[in-house]
Structures are given as C-alpha cells and as structure tokens.
Amino acid sequence: MRYALLVQGGPYSHQASHSALRFAEAVLARGHHLATVFFYHDGVYNAARLSAPPQDEPHLLDAWRRLHEDHGTELLVCIAAGLRRGLLDEREAARHGKQGHSLEAPFELTGLGQLIEVGRSHDRLVTFSP
Amino acid sequence: MILHILNRSPSASRVFQQTLDAMGPEDRLLLIEDAVQGALPQLVRYFEPVIGRLFALREDLASRGLDGRCDSRVMVVDVDGFVTLTEEADKTVSWF
C-alpha cells in the first residue's frame, strides 16, 4: 500500500514527530511504500536545516532525510506554515529579501492543496498531531 | 471501518467524548501517547461503549511504565499492530 503521514507537532516539544517516525519505520518494515510525509503547523520545524540536537538524542532531521534517501519518501512542507515560522528555502529567502535559508532539499515547500492531493492519491493517510 | 486514533488522556481532555460520538458501530479506537492512560482499570470506564474494539499502543504504555497494567479487555498492540490496524481500516481519523 501507498502510505502518507501528516505531521503537525513540533520536534522536541511534542511526541508527534517521534510517533510518526516510529510508525514510518514499521510501515516500511511491513513492505509498504511510504510515499509522502507532509509537515504542517509546528510540524514544519522538523525541516529546519540547522537543527543540531545533542548527540545522545534522536536526530529527527536526519531520520526524515534518511527516509528520503533510502526509500524515496517525499518530504513536503506547507509553504504558508513554513514562511510564517521562518522556514524558507533559497528561492523564498531571495524573494523575501532574507539572508541565508533555513530549509533545503530533500524537504520541499509546497502548497496546502498538495495535502488534499496526497489524501486522494495514497491508500492511507495517518495524522500525528501534538 | 474507520480506525480512530486518540492521543489525549481521558483525565486531561474531553476530546475522547467527541471521538466516541463520531465512532460508527464497527469502528475501532487505538489509544496512543498520553491516551494509553485510558487503558488502565481506573480510567477504562470512559471507553465502555467501545470495549471489544479498543486498542492501546504497547510502546507508549512501556515508556510510561504502564505495560502490564491495562484492563484485560483492552487489546494491546505494538507498532506493527498499529500498522496492521491501519491496513484493515478503510481510513484513519486522528483526535487530539
């Protein structure tokens, strides 16, 4: 089956991101395709490029990246939620006259309409909220 | 059949009531995160209407020191069982 996850909880402040990652690994272990993870609300902070947690704690950013590298999972970030919270890729940073950028591939800024499409095009969409 | 997923303890939030109100006769309920407290004998009464289709996530019970303390009528599943529940359901709804 094609699975998608919706992550709405901020990293290191709620369990949502950890619950979603644990579920993601179980989905893959059972032979399903984890096609998409969509980050919305405070969940967009999962994509912060400069995230540097202590070495003895789970590295959520790297864990999401690994899903993309190993399984081709698309990592979509709501652009409206991201821009509000200072999560801009190079293009958006330039467009808004900001120095530096806080989000990079494999994370991808996208519109909320994409979430509707994800709900339509995947077999299962499971939401993890704060 | 819809799998409803709840992450709030019935002792801290009333959202469980909305969950129960929204559930159809065949729907199932999985307690995760702080909601696993609802699987304890002291709190399981809140979920009386869905006994027999009430599940709790083992990993979240264990991380709270509650593994083995559930009411015997609650079905405890690990994260693989969580995936299975989503396979068996037509769709899932999360309550928070």
pTM of the predicted model as reported, rounded to 2 decimal places: 0.97
Q: How far apart are the first and last CA of chain A?
A: 26
Cα–Cα distances in angstroms (integers) from residue B13 to residues A128, B40, B49, B63, in the given order: 17, 16, 18, 20
pLDDT, one tens digit per residue, over A52-91 is 999 999 999 999 999 999 999 999 999 999 999 999 999 9
| pLDDT tens-digit profile, chain B (96 residues) | 999 999 999 999 999 999 999 999 999 999 999 999 999 999 999 999 999 999 999 999 999 999 999 999 999 999 999 999 999 999 999 999
A26 vs B86: CB contact, 8 Å cut-off?
no
Q: How confident is the model at residue A34 (pLDDT cuts 50, 70, 90)?
A: very high
* Number of structural domains in chain A: 1
Q: Read off the CATH number of the domain in which A21 is found.
A: 3.40.1260.10
DSSP H helices, chain A, are 16-29, 60-71, 79-84, 90-95, 113-121
Give the gap in angstroms from C-alpha A80 to the nearest C-alpha of chain B: 22
Domain of residue A31: give its range.
2-128
Domains of chain B: 2-95 (3.40.1260.10)
Q: Which residues of A1-40 are buried (b: 16+ CB within 10 A; e: fewer)?
A: eebbbbbbbbbeebbbbbbbbbbbbbbbeeebbbbbbbbb
The interface predicted TM-score (ipTM) is 0.97
| Chain A residues inside the 8 Å CB shell of B15 | none
Q: Which residues of A are catalytic?
A: 78
Neighbour-count burial for A83-105, b at 16+ CB within 10 Å, e otherwise? bebebbbeebbeeeeeeebbbee
Residues of B with CB under 8 A from a CB of A: 5, 7, 32-33, 59-60, 79-80, 82-84, 86-87, 91-94, 96
